[in-house]
Structure formats: C-alpha cells, structure tokens
Amino acid sequence: MAKLPTRNARRLMRSSMTAGFLYALAGAVLWGVNGTISKYVMSNYDVTPLWFSIVRQLGAGALFMACALWRTPRSIPDMFSGWRPVLQLMVIALTSVMFVQLGYLETIDWTNSATATVLQCMSILIVMVYACIKARKAPRRRDVVGAVMALAGVFLLATGGNPSELALPWQGIVWGLVNAFGGAAMSVVPIPAIKKWGNFAVNGVSFLMSGIAMCVVCRPWSSMPHMDALGWTLLALSVVVGTFVSFALYLKGVSVIGAVKGTMIDTCEPLAATVTSVLWLGASFTPADLTGFALIIAMVFVTV
C-alpha cells in the first residue's frame, strides 16, 4: 500500500507549486509589458519589426546558448551530430521562433500590444483543432463553445461590431494569425527536441538559426536605427528582460505547475499589455474591443 505524503512533503509540494505559479506569472507579465516596450520603440524611433525581430532573436539566442553551455554543455555537439537533428532544429526555427517573433512585432506595429497578445491566445484554438485531427476524434462540446467565443472575439476586434468596416487594418489581423500559428507550433513542434536536449539548448540554437536566416533579408548591421540613450536602453530591456528572462521564467514555471495551469496564467499577458498601453502610451479601447478581449481570454478557460 502506497504511503501518504508526510506533512513536510505536502508543505514542500505546496511551496514548489507556489514558486512555479510565481515564475509563470512573472514570465507572462514581462512578455505583456515587452509588447508595450516594443510598440514604443517602433513608434518613436526608426525601428522596423523585421530589424527588431532579428536583434531580439540573436540577442536572446546568445543568452540561451550561454546558459546551455553552462547547464547542458553535452547537448550542443549532439544537436549537430547529423543532418536529421539539424533539420529538426531548422523546422523549429523557421516555424515556431520566426513566426512568433516576427508575427508578434508586426501585429504590435499594425495595432497595439494589447491586441497582439489577445490574438496570440488564438493559438490555443489552433492546437485544439490539431489535436482533434491527430486523434481522429470530434471536438468536445466545450471546445466548440470556445471556438465560437474566439471567433466572436476576433470579429469584434476586427470590425468593432460593424461588419461593414474594419476597425483593425487587415495587415494586423493577418500578422496576428501568423503569430497565433507560430505560438501553436511552438507548443507542439519543439517538444521532442526539448525533452531530448533541454530548453536552453533548443531555444538557443533555434533562436540563432532563425535570426541568422532573417539576416539574409535584412542586414541589421547595415541599417542601424538612430536612437538616443532611452531607445537603446529599451531595446536592451526588450531583448534581455522582455524576451530571454520572460521566456526562461515562464518555461520554468510551466515545468512545475503543468501546461494547463500555465495556459491560464498566460492570459495575464493581455492584461499586462493593456494596462501598460493605457498608462504609458495613452491607448484607448472601445467597448467592442474590451468585449472581444474578454471573449478570447474566456475561451482559454473554457477549452483547457
């Protein structure tokens, strides 16, 4: 007969879960705030989403690689031991990382950080559809309800409740969906590689691969923007704190509390982005916008 956990063991489990919750919450909030920082930098300086995306990927990728060399140094040579693992990493870089990083910044540039983070939640719906197709089974009733809520939320955001006109530019909607597809891919595609080589190693290599591949399109060193001390400081914060630290904290927390609770905590991203957009950038949202936000965020709790 299995022994029940002792009081001390239960206390340690609660403490570990609390720490995991706080890690994931901090990561989600930092990512939401990072969206507002990104919007400010792109709006006030000569910074394009493509240039910004490359710099963030290369910078965060270098930090991830440094941690990987410190924590799991043996995994790096193994990742380049043949063409199959290299191809696997290239797929991760070109689908998960590139779509998320560039799609997120383009959506922010065309709309705002709050809308971008809310549209990012659509990735949950995409993962749900993928899971149903893979398992060859019909969706649950609550999945259907969640899908209707998500589509209604996107409709309100896109039209403001008036189907005869677009409240958001179509480019923002398209890039928001690209970001959502990238987020869905990130929750599925890298999992086997992460289990084999670890988070730091996989993220480090895939971030660097994506950033280097995008350098073919835009050479960041030849088109340096004109920024003052504040601009460079915000850029550094976006790379180090908003991308590397937020991602590392969130993954650390989810590894403890699980993906379901992590997904729910992830809904703090739009809240953080909305609050900072209003307080810092003076953004305003209509009742239709806020209703759309609420429907998409509620969809997360209905479907998970």
- The predicted-structure confidence for 163-186, as pLDDT tens digits, reads as follows 777 788 889 999 999 998 888 887
Under the banding of pLDDT at 50, 70 and 90, the label for residue 259 is low
pLDDT at 236: 95
Say if CB 180 and CB 105 are below 8 A apart.
no
Mean pLDDT of the chain: 85
Under the banding of pLDDT at 50, 70 and 90, the label for residue 61 is very high
Residue 31 lies in a domain: no
pLDDT at 217: 84
Tokens 């289990």 found at: 195
What mean pLDDT comes out for the span 18-34?
A: 87
Question: Could you give the angle at the alpha carbon of 64 between the alpha carbons of 58 and 70, nearest 5°?
Answer: 135
Under the banding of pLDDT at 50, 70 and 90, the label for residue 12 is low
| 4 pLDDT more than 60 | no
Residue 32 lies in a domain: no
Under the banding of pLDDT at 50, 70 and 90, the label for residue 238 is very high
Residue 39 lies in a domain: no
pLDDT at 175: 94
Whole-number CA gyration radius for the chain: 20
| 232 pLDDT more than 90 | yes
Extended beta strands in 133-235, E state:
none
> Helices 98-110 and 113-120, interaxial angle, to 10°?
140
Instruction: Please give the helix or strand (H or E) that residue 289 lies within, else none.
Output: helix 287-303
Residue 153 lies in a domain: yes
Domain count for the chain, please give it: 1
Q: Name the residue range of residue 204's domain.
A: 45-303
What's the CA gap between 207 and 209, in Å, rounded?
6
Q: Which pLDDT tens digit goes with each residue over 87-114?
A: 999 999 998 889 989 999 999 999 888 8
Residue 231 lies in a domain: yes
Two tokens, residue 89 = 């990493």
Residue 21 lies in a domain: no
Under the banding of pLDDT at 50, 70 and 90, the label for residue 66 is very high
Angular region, 136: left φ>0, alpha ψ -120 to 50, beta rest: left
Full-model pTM = 0.85
pLDDT at 15: 74
Residue that wins the pLDDT comparison between 1 and 244? 244
pLDDT at 195: 82
pLDDT at 237: 95
Residue 65 lies in a domain: yes
pLDDT above 70 coverage of the chain, percent: 92
Residue 198 lies in a domain: yes
What mean pLDDT comes out for the span 241-246?
A: 91
Under the banding of pLDDT at 50, 70 and 90, the label for residue 260 is low
Residues in CB range of 176: below 8 A, 6 or more apart: 103, 107, 111, 115, 116, 119, 120, 122
